[in-house]
Amino acid sequence: MNYSDVFREKELVQGLARRIAELTRGRTEPLVFMEVCGTHTNAIYQFGLRSLLPPEVRLISGPGCPVCVTPNSYLDRAIALCRLPDVVIASFGDMLRVPGSSSSLMEERAKGADIRVVYSPLDAVQLAAKHPEKRVVFLGVGFETTAPTIAGSILAAKAQGLTNYFVLASHKTMPQPMAILSADPELQVDGYICPAHVSAIIGADAYRFLCEEYKVPCVVTGFEPTDVLQGVEMLVRQAIAGESKVEIQYSRVVRWEGNAKAQAMLADVFTPFDAPWRGIGVLPGSGLRIADKYAEFDAELAIPVQVEELKEHKGCLCGEILKGKVSPFDCPLFGGKCTPESPVGACMVSSEGTCAAAYKYGR
């Protein structure tokens, strides 16, 4: 048995599910927990965990898929950049299918744009070193988990003296949107399944203000089935006892203070800014842009380009879905006009998107 199988043991998982059922039996109002992170959303669907939970516990998905919360305006800029003859776009694969106002990167690639899928931003740095005649733009999208590697790529490019490597940065940071959701009177969340790997960077202490200000339980939870159900059980126990504190279920990885080295890299290379979230709007201090001292690597500043006028897709409920207010099945476009082949909204694109997971596993 290997390391990951231990956390997928059927008896353990079903034992946890039974305990959750016993703890919540007879409740008239279900307990609603939001998993904030897209990897949790995917794991919950992939392992069919909802089907193991009692009706007294409802899991809803939040805004934690980086591709899904990336706004149209960002895609439009990336598309405008890829149309420049000497620009190579390097990106994680999921971004290619995200629709912008009138096109997508995949469509642009079919029309001849040079768009490469890479698995690490350092591959993009290598690409730039190999092709000094090109300008390589990496699409820096993601939360605190991926942001340090992208910071690392900028530092690597600087160390190599590269002048043709750029990042189009749209990083998001985690606790802020949870505060917005907690303050939303339409949304009753009884507890957060807090992100696993984001928390490894920022530390579990980052959620304390949520518990104090909004009286909502927070459990930092791992991605394996036993992790998720143990996290749910910890939330159930807090909710029943009327407590609201931060707990770490994922203690084999996450510390209260987080990863100091990664935090220092982020503080060096990036500056917090008011980032636009798809469907949610501009949230104060919720994103990371490239710091002034690294401005020569900022694609937005270094490569001026005409970006087309923003058009939002009508009828798409991604915004409400990202806030956990409606389920994908409530969206009139879901499965009809909006499918993984021709997504209307970003939630249908990424494997971590709520709609894509619901489409693939949930029907």
Partner 1 sequence: MNNDLILLGHGSGGRLSHQLLDELIIPQLSSVPVKGQNDAALLNIGGVKLAFSTDSYVVDPIFFPGGNIGDLAINGTVNDLAMMGARPLCLSVGFILEEGFSKEELSRILASMRQAADAAGVAIVTGDTKVVPKGKGDRIFINTSGIGALEHNLQIDGASAHVGDKIIVNGCIGDHGIAVLSAREGLEIDSGIKSDSAALNGLVTGLLTLGPALHVLRDPTRGGVATTLKEIALQSGVTVTLNEESLPINPGVKGVCAILGLDPLYVANEGKLLALVAPERADEALEIMRRHPLGKDAAVIGEVTETSAGKVQMETLVGGMRGVEMLAGEQLPRIC
Which residues here bind partner 1, judged by CB under 8 A? 2, 4, 8-10, 13-14, 45-52, 97, 99, 102-104, 106-107, 109-111, 118-119, 123, 225, 339-342, 351, 356, 359-363
The HSE-up count of residue 10 (CA atoms within 13 Å, CB side) is 0
- Comparing CB distances to partner 1, the nearer of 2 and 306 is 2
- Comparing CB distances to partner 1, the nearer of 88 and 178 is 88
Pairwise CA distance, residues 317 & 334, whole Å: 9
Shortest reach from residue 235's CB to partner 1, in Å:
19
Shortest reach from residue 363's CB to partner 1, in Å:
5
Report whether 330 contacts 317 (CB < 8 A). Answer: yes
Report whether 244 contacts 238 (CB < 8 A). Answer: yes
Shortest reach from residue 284's CB to partner 1, in Å:
32
Strand pairing partners for 245? none
- Comparing CB distances to partner 1, the nearer of 62 and 99 is 99
Shortest reach from residue 81's CB to partner 1, in Å:
19
Shortest reach from residue 319's CB to partner 1, in Å:
19
- Comparing CB distances to partner 1, the nearer of 19 and 208 is 19
- Comparing CB distances to partner 1, the nearer of 46 and 182 is 46
Cβ partners under 8 Å of residue 238, min gap 6: 191, 217, 219, 244, 245, 247
Report whether 142 contacts 352 (CB < 8 A). Answer: no
Shortest reach from residue 208's CB to partner 1, in Å:
31
- Comparing CB distances to partner 1, the nearer of 92 and 207 is 92
State the distance between the two ends of the chain, measured CA to CA, in whole angstroms.
32
Pairwise CA distance, residues 228 & 179, whole Å: 22
Pairwise CA distance, residues 250 & 235, whole Å: 13
